[in-house]
Amino acid sequence: MGVRRAFSSLLHYMLPKKRPAEGVVVEGNSSSCDPESALKKPRISCVISSGTKENTSGCSSNKVVSNNTNGNASSSSVGERSVTEMAFDDGNPHDIDEDLHSRQLAVYGRETMRRLFASNVLVSGIQGLGAEIAKNLILAGVKSVTLHDEGQVQLWDLSSNFIFSESDVGKNRAFASVQKLQELNNAVVVSSLTTKLTKEKLSDFQAVVFTNTSLEDALEFNDYCHNHQPPIAFIRTEVRGLFGYVFCDFGPEFTVFDVDGEEPHTGIIASISNDNPALISCVDDERLEFQDGDLVVFSEVQGMTELNDDKPRKISSARPYSFTLDEDTTNFGPYGRGGIVTQVKPPKILNFKTLREAIMDPGDFLLSDFSKFDRPPLLHLAFQALDKFRSDLARFPLAGSEDDAQRLISIATNLNESNGNVKLDDINPKLLQQLSHGARAELNPMAAMFGGIVGQEVVKACSGKFHPLYQFFYFDSLESLPTEPLDPSDLKPLNTRYDAQISVFGQKFQKKLEDAKVFLVGSGALGCEFLKNLALMGVACTEQGKLTVTDDDVIEKSNLSRQFLFRDWNIGQAKSTVAAAAATSINPQLRVEALQNRVGPETENVFDDTFWENLSVVINALDNVNARLYVDQRCLYFQKPLLESGTLGAKCNTQMVIPHLTENYGASRDPPEKQAPMCTLHSFPHNIDHCLTWARSEFEGLLEKTPAEVNAYLSNPSEYTSAQTNAGDAQARDNLERILECLDRESCETFEDCIAWARLKFEEYFANRVKQLIFTFPEDALTSSGAPFWSAPKRFPCPLQFSSTDPSHLHFIMAASMLRAETFGIPIPDWVKHPKKLSEAVHKVMVPCFQPRKDAKIVTDEKATSLSSSASIDDAAVIDELISKLECSRKNLPPGFRMKPIQFEKDDDTNYHMDLIAALANMRARNYCIPEVDKLKAKFIAGRIIPAIATTTAMATGLVCLELYKVLDGGHKLEDYRNTFANLALPLFSIAEPVPPKVIKHNDLSWTVWDRWVIKDNPTLRELIQWLADKGLNAYSISCGSCLLFNSMFPRHKERMDQKVVDLARDVAKMEIPPYRRHLDVVVACDDDNDEDVDIPLYLFRSSGSYILYALSSSPLCSNNIRYTARFFSIATLILTMSIDGDSLYFEPDFVLYTKTSSAAMATVRMIDIAVNFTDSMFKGIYNGKQYHMGDIQAVLKRAWSAGVERIIVTGGSLEESKEALAIAETDARLFCTVGVHPTRCKEFEDSGDPEKHLQDLLTLAKEGKEKGKVVAIGECGLDYDRLHFCPSDIQKKYFEKQFELAYTMKLPMFLHMRAASQDFCDILQRNKDRFVAGVAHSFTGSAEDCDKLLSFSNVFIGINGCSLKTAENLEVVKGIPVERMMIETDSPYCDIKNTHAGIRYVKSSWPSKKKDKHDQECLVKGRNEPCLVRQVLEVVAGTKGIADIDQLSQTLYHNTCRFELIHVTVNVFRVFFPHDLDSAAEALLASGREDL
């Protein structure tokens, strides 16, 4: 540890304090790098540990934290330093422009950046490759870059060098490059060297790169660099046509301080054994990423404190949640609790060979393309032959010259023969011929790719960050050549800027490039590189060609470190406009149009059908998945190639989407990111990410959402309060409370008020909340199972005591008060930034004492998705009171008062947004003894900054442009294309063929998502259905845009069979085709003879010259709001959309489709689903023991609420299941549950060993749940004689009767189950009729006689679901059940209404569904029932009973479930499930039913 501190201190003094700001052009032998002023960075041979460890285990559990972790500075010693400077003073020099380099800092860190700032680099050879390397290094921010080249600019160079223009022809390359490269970063000294380079001159540099030097010179220079003290990093690289290589030599002993750039892996310890070796188990919060042989250190371990010595220890037997420690802990203290285990990343020493040695003994080559295992040795030989050719003839082979090609082959043959035992069996003359033809050409894509790779190697050499390339890397892209044989005459130069490219691809292919129509989506980092590449390649450079680029973003300072077409004077301007103008300056022939439109459904009038149909190719340069998916969908729809790429720090990937050859981008999806549970973020954080996520949430709540709610109220008070009254739920109450708090109790009129608000927020967040938490859960608290509550990963917190001498505390007050003042429009005084004056103002604030509440409820359930309280019986009254108080507060406001919501902006360090978020997070971290972070680290996490560096971007775009050659040629096969994943940090290159599209087979037909079926003319509906039937496909549903055209279950639709499909679309759907569209979308859902859905191709036919596309089962649902979903999906049920009138959705009278936009259509329908089995594995994505998709209860609930379901009762069928049901119910105010044991599971009483205790456990659980307002019934209990194989009848009867004790004690109704046991069931009910207040026999499937028996009990209701509506007999029984004795349910995931059920004819609503293996959150799972479908039960009940007013029916059933019931001739009030929930409709119904009530 001492070594690290000493070295860091030394490095601080070694680095320059002020960086030069202008370039220098030096002629002759001079150098801009004065040996006296440019300090030579010594080679580092000492070992640097992975990071300083902080012992944070000393957070006392019973003391208030008042220490200042940044040093206690009294106000008198502060001097002139600002509060911010004091708060974030980490003792390091602030010499990095964090606004400019924020994304790069996220990859490299400060230490690496400072080493770069001290590094001088030479780049020799400023053609295309040299220019790319220099660009990347200047953007990275090295101290200086010296450009060396003795040659003159030729027209030939313009094929690959973005710096040169035709006016530069004849000038020295290095001299002509300085000014434009200097513009990239004024903090880097850029200079030129135009005369012959001597080896002694190399001593001025830390790294030297040679891109166009002879082998003889390279050997001489490398020997010098290798033997120099300290060694000079030497890199030789070349690109020759479609071939390239890199060689690295960083000296005899090079230290790599961080081999991969990844954060050290960590784990939270759960237990440690006293064994030899010791077994360490970790909590299952996250999988461990350790590997056998890793070194780890321990911290914060309580009990076995011997491990907290910061000593690296080796591990073995690494598993997902445990590992073995190779140490004897037998005599260590017993493990208590807590502890963090952290990976140690030791430095690595690499022993490089010289170039002279490595040529003869290259060792292992870095492989990139696994289809070319034998290629690197062959290219190693080929480039040696090319070096000899160049040495012998003082030139490169000529393009198209067979003599030169044969001479190169001959040289290679001789070299191979002289290699003895390592000679190759086949030297591949054809490959050597291709190398010969393109040897003089530097192609832009190759230069871009290798420029990124080599630039990164220089960064490694200067910093020790990431593992160097060791030592040869060879690459070729011969697949990019045209598929048609090239005529040598076609390769001859035309005296144009494209001659180098023509020498490889030929004149005819160059014309294809120039005539291409390209759509580039995005002009950020990737977009800038693509624009440069396309301009140099000559893409879209004729009247026939066109390049369209769009980006709706503007340029910010942080963009300048990698988006190289922008300059500081462009900040604030549109990215696409500036980038397009810069690309035109690179190649004036480029025909480019710059737009500022986002690509999405809302801009389909801009990017219309004609636009898409005319494109040659689409290139994505996007930074978000949703936009990528939309563009992918459009390319799939219009059958256009899509070239996709993305970067993340040193990693990048490219994906080719080629019509009919590859799968589309959306065919595969990454798993969703794991999110911390809500309770963890709010009460139990255990890492800084949790603290920062919470901090950003609080920022947005306090400064954006609440002011926005205030303004919404003030804009139209009556409408706003009316909406909240109608909602009448906990959310409405919360909204009103926040508004009142903002305008009344916490209203601010002066800046001093803002300071007081900030001081009280500090007390609330970091003292009072923690005091309440540890009062509710003291340090010795136990869980219900008897385990310590504060066990890993929970950390016991300590409240903070505010101190004005703590800069971090003052910084929170400053940032919070300034932003609070901004929301109220209060001027901010300058004195707030001065610690002494701010302290004086804070001391005037009166802070009330805090007393913990005994009844405080703190959410501890990790499954909870909300911290909002459940709906309360008093909500309506409280809401009325809040509205009254708000009216009073509003009258006291100045006329026209509005607040200013603040939207979080991470990249403006003057706005104090990140100051507040960092302060919030760090104070919270201090509460929980979590290591704090500086503002930059906080910005990375809270701002969700994507790490980015120029080198990776350049490499990715180069790889994509190599594929672009293939796309525009048009004749390549799947095996010619390449997808890439690369990690420059390792380095790793994984290049492989793309995945072909999934082939769907049906009978003797097969197709993919790219295929289309074509039918001529305009068929009738009958002809279309017959056409499909001839292929063995049954079309059961056809819809257009917003309307159902045909469904096989509706008899009246058969009247449409002889109408033309186009006419139906126009007449029934009333579709008006916008001028920017050429077709209508019709969705057809098909199944086969086995009722299995079949994904069929798009169906295309022409009618009157217009295109009509029929998206058969694989097309997106089409409505204005959900027009283009994330990806194409299969249709498992009727796929319809709605006619649209404004924001409302209307439907054909006989059929309704509900989507996420249709909740308004259900506003008057109120439903409660009294039976949902959310504990069933199907809702976790598991079917018959196999996982098909992630759990989706939240998506299921969202559909239910939208459908008009207001409450759901989650069924408990056993003790454990009841616990789970209660846990689920606690996640949403609208969820409730039952507690009981299902008749088929009553053996669990006996199996428990103590039936009475088991019953008592059920009672305890019921009490707990009732107190929480969640348990509303005892059950599911009863008798089931259909399944006696699960539990004998005698046991069922015994424990059915026992559970009446629970109902009697708890005064709760019963949730009953009766199947084939009506006599025994009713006998038991009769015996216990006075022991339960009410009950419902759910999922009733019995006879009319059974029904009458149940109805004879005045307090028993009957539950109806899909199983109750199967047969005509069932419907007759239902018809006879009085509506006032009925409830509805789904019993999901079971008991859905199927097409074969008698009740199906009354169903008017449906939802899109998909098979479980094609799960989509927006669709139901086919064959799995869910709560939204209780609407169908309501419809069948209405149809069966002939009730036209479905709204009134729903109100009656809702009333039955919730409140009171009028029975017979006297008024008997029975508590059913929600007796407290009174409404006017129920009151009116009661009154109308009994006038004398």
CB atoms inside a 10 Å sphere around CB 348:
14
d(C-alpha 1131, C-alpha 1110), whole Å: 13
Q: Report the amino acid identity of residue 726.
A: N
How many angstroms separate the CA atoms of 222 and 236, rounded?
Answer: 9
Active-site residue (options: 528, 635, 679, 754):
679
Please give the Cα distance from 457 to 452 (Å, whole number).
Answer: 9
Cis status, amide bond into 456, omega within 30 of 0: no
3-class state of residue 17 by DSSP: coil
CA gap 1398, 1362 in Å, rounded: 10
Write out the DSSP string of 1077-1136.
Answer: ----EEEEEEE-TTS-B----EEEEEETTEEEEEEESSSPP-STTTSS-SS-----S---
Structure tokens at 1443: 């009730």
Could you tell me which of 1317, 1270, 1260 has the C-alpha nearest to residue 1292? 1317
> Among residues 1100, 1098, 1083, 1080, which one has the least CA distance to residue 1044?
1083
- The CB density around residue 1446, as the number of other CB atoms within 10 Å, is 17
Instruction: Write out the H or E segment, with its range, that includes residue 1170.
Output: strand 1167-1172
Helices 1251-1267 & 1215-1225, crossing angle to 10 degrees?
10
Other Cβ atoms less than 10 A from the Cβ of 1244: the count is 17
Residues near 893 by beta carbon (within 8 Å), at least 6 away in sequence: 714, 743
Structure tokens that stand for 1382 in this block: 């009925």
Q: How far apart are CA 172 and CA 151, in angstroms?
A: 6
Helix, strand or coil for residue 314? strand
Contact between 329 and 783 under an 8 Å Cβ cutoff? The reply is: no
Place of tokens 């371990």: 301
Cβ neighbour number for residue 409 with a 10 Å cutoff: 21
The shares of helix, strand and coil residues in the chain, as percent rounded to the nearest 5, are: 40, 15, 45
Active site residue 679: yes
Q: Is 829 exposed, middle or buried (0-12, 13-18, 19+ CB in 10 A)?
A: middle
Picking from 1419, 1361, 1428, the residue whose alpha carbon sits closest to that of residue 1204 is: 1428
Contact 436, 404 (CB under 8 A): yes
Give the C-alpha separation, 435 to 648, whole Å. 33
Tokens, residue 528: 């800038």
Q: Which of 1158, 1202, 1193 is nearest to 1417 (CA)?
A: 1193
Among candidate residues 1390, 1450, 1462, the one with its CA nearest the CA of residue 1207: 1450
Sign, CA torsion 46/50/51/54: negative
DSSP bridge partners of 1279: 1314
Nearest 5°: the CA angle 1029, 1034, 1036 is: 135
Q: Tell me how far CA of residue 456 lies from CA of 190, 355, 1220, 1322, 1324, in angstroms.
A: 19, 20, 52, 81, 80
Q: Are 978 and 963 in contact (CB under 8 A)?
A: yes
List the catalytic residues.
Answer: 679
